């Protein structure tokens, strides 16, 4: 039952976010913020597929324990693409609110993203091992969480300042995604049931993409 339900959920998720992303790229009418948002959604879906597709295949065949390397490689790729996702979301913020300058802030975003990717590339992560160390799972997520915090604060402040009803909950979708993700990083290995939090985390990302898509449909009529 888990294999069927999880596979269906992941299939719907990947299809939805990639489809919405493609529709945004094709229907953005040259508006940079919506084109970026579409690219961001495709990066999200394509990156997650490297982990979710092998996971679905494993669940529907001989089990997760027989696909350790493929699942680890998928998590590695997804970790990098999620970092790209937040960098793109930062540029969506700049485009939507017509932000100019602020080179120091941009440098901070790239610094945190670079640290995250660099730490993901370190062999100490042991991505392909069944006994990957928890410590490195924490280390590589510190700059990632800080990057997320920066984006949360930017959207929260700007949406309020501009009375932007379309993006008023963008900050909350990111808070929820990290709120559900962090316990998985810390405790999923010891308490497998905690891994179920990845479902609401995924729903939070769908909400993020839907906010951008809905805004485009309203603003580009």
Please indicate, yes or no, whether the overall pTM of this predicted structure exceeds 0.85. Answer: yes
Q: Give the model confidence (pLDDT) of 102-155 as tens digits.
A: 999 999 999 999 999 999 999 999 999 888 888 999 999 999 999 999 999 999
The residue among 125, 137, 213, 212 whose CA lies nearest residue 181 is 137
* Nearest CA-CA partner of 87 in 144, 138, 45, 30: 144
Per-residue pLDDT tens over the stretch 50-86:
999 998 888 888 877 888 899 999 999 999 999 999 9
Least confident piece of the model among 21-25, 105-109, 181-185: 181-185
Query: Are the beta carbons of 188 and 194 closer than 8 angstroms?
Result: yes
Domains belonging to the chain, first-starting first, are 2-219 (1.20.1070)
């Amino acid at each position: 039952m888990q294999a069927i339900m999880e596979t269906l959920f992941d299939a719907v998720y990947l299809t939805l976010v990639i489809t919405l992303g493609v529709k945004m790229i094709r229907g953005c009418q040259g508006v940079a913020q919506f084109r970026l948002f579409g690219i961001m959604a495709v990066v999200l879906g394509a990156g997650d597929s490297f982990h979710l597709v092998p996971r679905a295949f494993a669940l529907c065949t001989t089990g997760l324990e027989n696909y350790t390397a493929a699942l680890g490689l998928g998590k590695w790729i997804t970790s990098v693409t999620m970092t790209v996702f937040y960098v793109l979301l930062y540029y969506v913020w700049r485009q939507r609110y017509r932000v100019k300058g602020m080179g120091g802030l941009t440098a901070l975003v790239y610094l945190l993203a670079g640290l995250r990717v660099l730490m993901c590339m370190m062999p100490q992560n042991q991505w392909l091992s069944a006994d990957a160390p928890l410590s490195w799972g924490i280390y590589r997520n510190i700059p990632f969480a800080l990057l997320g915090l920066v984006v949360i604060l930017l959207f929260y402040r700007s949406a309020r300042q501009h009375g932007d009803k379309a993006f008023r909950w963008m900050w909350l979708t990111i808070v929820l995604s990290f709120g559900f993700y962090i316990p998985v990083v810390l405790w999923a290995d010891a308490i497998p049931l905690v891994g179920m939090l990845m479902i609401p985390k995924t729903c939070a990302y769908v909400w993020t993409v839907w906010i951008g898509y809905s805004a485009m449909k309203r603003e580009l009529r």
